[in-house]
Amino acid sequence: MNPGKILLVEDNPDDVTLTMRALKSHNITNDVVVAQDGVQALDYLFGKQGRSPADDLPAVVLLDLKLPKLNGMEVLQRIRSEERTKLLPVVILTSSDEERDVIDGYSLGANSYVRKPVDFVEFTKAAQQLGLYWLLMNRAPPSPRGP
C-alpha cells in the first residue's frame, strides 16, 4: 500500500531539515516533497506551463503561512478553488498563533492548524503525530481523476 507523499511548503531550510528529521525519526519514510515558496507549491500541484502536474496528489500538505512570493493563505485559497485539489487535506504548520491567522486559515478551508513549538522535542512529537495521523489514520478523499 502506498500511503502517499507529504508536500511540505516551507521556505526556512532549518525548518525543513528539522521537520524532515522529526518525520524520519519515527520511520515515516514516505516521500517528502519540499516546496520553498507558494509558487513552487502550486507548480507541483497544478503543473508549470508546458509541464503536466505530478501524477498523484500528496496525502497531505503541510503549509507554512509566511512564504515568499505567494503566502500560505493565498496558496490555500488557490488549492480550495481548484476542482482537482479542493478536497486535498491541508494542515497549516506555522510559527504564528495569531488569532487572525487561525480564523483566516479555517475560513479558507484548512483541515487543521498546528503551531510549531520552539522546543524541538515537542516539535518532533508534533511532526510525528501529524505524519502518523494524516498518512496512516486519515482516510483520504477519493482521487478526482479516479476511474
Partner 1 sequence: MAIRDWPIKRKLTAILLLISGLVLLLTSAAFVTYEVVTFRQTIRSQLATRSRILAANSTAALAFANEADAREILGALKYDPHMVAAALYDRNGRILATYPAAPSADLIPAAPQPDGYRFEGGRLVGFTPVAQGENQRLGTLYIASDTKAVSDALRLSGVIAIVVLAIAMLAAYALAAALQGRISAPILALAETATAASTRQDYSLRAPKFGEDELGALTDSFNQMLGRIEEQKQELQQHATRLEQRVAERTKELERRALELQAANSELDAFAYSVSHDLRAPLRSIDGFSQVLLEDYAAQLDQAGRDSLQRVRAASQRMATLIDDLLKLARVTRTEMRTERVDLSGMAREIVLDIQRTSPDRQVEFAIAPGLEAQGDSRLLRVVLDNLLRNGWKYTGKQPQPRVEFTAVDENGGRVFVVKDNGAGFDMKYADKLFGVFQRLHSSAEFEGTGVGLATVRRIINRHGGRIWAEGIVDQGATFYFTL
* Segment near partner 1 (CB under 8 A); pick from 44-52, 82-90, 95-103, 132-140: 95-103
Is 56 a binding residue for partner 1 by CB under 8 A? The answer is no
Is 102 a binding residue for partner 1 by CB under 8 A? The answer is no
Q: Mark residues 115-134: x for contact with partner 1 by CB under 8 A, - for none.
A: -xxxxxx-x-----------
For partner 1, the closer of residues 45 and 101 by Cβ is 101
Please provide the DSSP assignment of 78-147 as one string: HHHHSTTTTT--EEEEES---HHHHHHHHHTT-SEEEEPPSSHHHHHHHHHHHHIIIIIISPPPPPTT--
Whole-number Å distance between alpha carbons of 23 and 93: 14
Is 74 a binding residue for partner 1 by CB under 8 A? The answer is no
List 3, 4, 15, 53, residue binding partner 1 (CB under 8 A): 15
**Residue 63: strand pairing partners:** 9, 92
**Residue 33: strand pairing partners:** 7
List 14, 50, 55, 147, residue binding partner 1 (CB under 8 A): 14
Q: List the Cα angle 88/89/90 in 5-degree steps.
A: 110
Is 45 a binding residue for partner 1 by CB under 8 A? The answer is no
Q: How many Cα atoms are found within 13 Å in the side-chain-facing hemisphere of 133? A: 13
Is 113 a binding residue for partner 1 by CB under 8 A? The answer is no
**What are the residues binding partner 1 (CB under 8 A)?**
12, 14-15, 18, 21, 65-66, 94-100, 116-121, 123
